[in-house]
């Protein structure tokens, strides 16, 4: 009988590690911010944390952590529709690792729907993945520690000094708090994150919560 897959096994799998690195290198060559192991760990941790704080079963919590860790491997092929590409790549890989089919389907559905351009939220794992992924904005994502001139994504991420994502299970509020310095602005953040914020709001509603974003102590959407 297939054994439950764990995040630890996923992180140690050489094929998945190679795909995460390849995806990051492919995006680096195009000037995108970091999408490597650091981003994978961040998204995995917070996807797990969201469902854990909201009282979801242990297995769903672990699946959210797994989905968060592998969600961006499709970038090894192309940035365009990378969620769908990643889901198609993961399906045979996870089956080969002896993951039960029911769990595989949960993972590939979440990965295939995490992108704001085409994603549809139909499960708690997808919802948690979406929020965790879109919440990862910080100076540490800027490659080489220096923003590229004229790159708004680098400029916005470099300006973010503190990033805090918390879950108030009693009030059913998922709160994202950012502190930015003056090297960018709230307006620039919204220029690139507006669609992602809207998707986080939909994800939070699916979980029976609200999503509240604040930047420099200013409520943005609440």
Model's pTM, two decimal places?
A: 0.96
Domain boundaries, given as residue ranges, for the chain: 7-219
Q: What is the DSSP letter of 77?
A: T
Query: pLDDT > 90: what percent of the chain?
Result: 94
- CB 35, CB 27: distance < 8 Å: yes
Contacts of 180 (CB under 8 A, 6+ apart): 156, 159, 160, 161, 186, 189, 215, 216
Q: What is the CATH number of domain 7-219?
A: 1.10.3210
3-state class of 121 per DSSP? coil
Which residues share a beta bridge with 178? Answer: 163, 215
pLDDT for 102 beyond 70: yes
Question: What would the pLDDT profile of 25-84 be if each residue is shown by its tens digit?
Answer: 999 999 999 999 999 999 999 999 999 999 999 999 999 999 999 999 999 999 999 999
């Amino acid at each position: 009988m297939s054994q439950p897959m764990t995040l630890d096994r996923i992180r140690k799998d050489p094929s998945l590690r190679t795909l995460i690195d390849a995806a990051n290198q492919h995006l680096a060559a195009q000037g995108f911010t970091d999408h490597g192991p650091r981003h994978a760990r961040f998204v995995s941790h917070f996807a797990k944390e969201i469902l854990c704080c909201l009282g979801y079963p242990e297995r769903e919590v672990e699946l959210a952590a797994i989905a968060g860790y592998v969600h961006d491997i499709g970038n090894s092929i192309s940035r365009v529709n990378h969620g769908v590409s990643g889901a198609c790549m993961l399906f045979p890989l996870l089956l080969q690792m002896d993951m039960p089919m029911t769990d595989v389907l949960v993972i590939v559905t979440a990965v295939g729907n995490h992108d704001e351009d085409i994603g549809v939220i139909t499960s708690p794992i997808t919802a948690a993945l979406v929020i965790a992924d879109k919440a990862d904005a910080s100076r540490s994502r800027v490659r080489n520690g220096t923003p590229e001139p004229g790159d708004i994504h680098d400029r916005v991420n470099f300006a973010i000094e503190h990033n805090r994502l918390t879950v108030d299970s009693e009030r059913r509020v998922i709160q994202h708090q950012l502190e930015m310095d003056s090297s960018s602005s709230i307006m620039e953040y919204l220029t690139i994150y507006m669609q992602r914020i809207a998707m986080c709001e939909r994800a939070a509603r699916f979980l029976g919560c609200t999503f509240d974003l604040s930047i420099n102590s200013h409520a943005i959407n609440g």
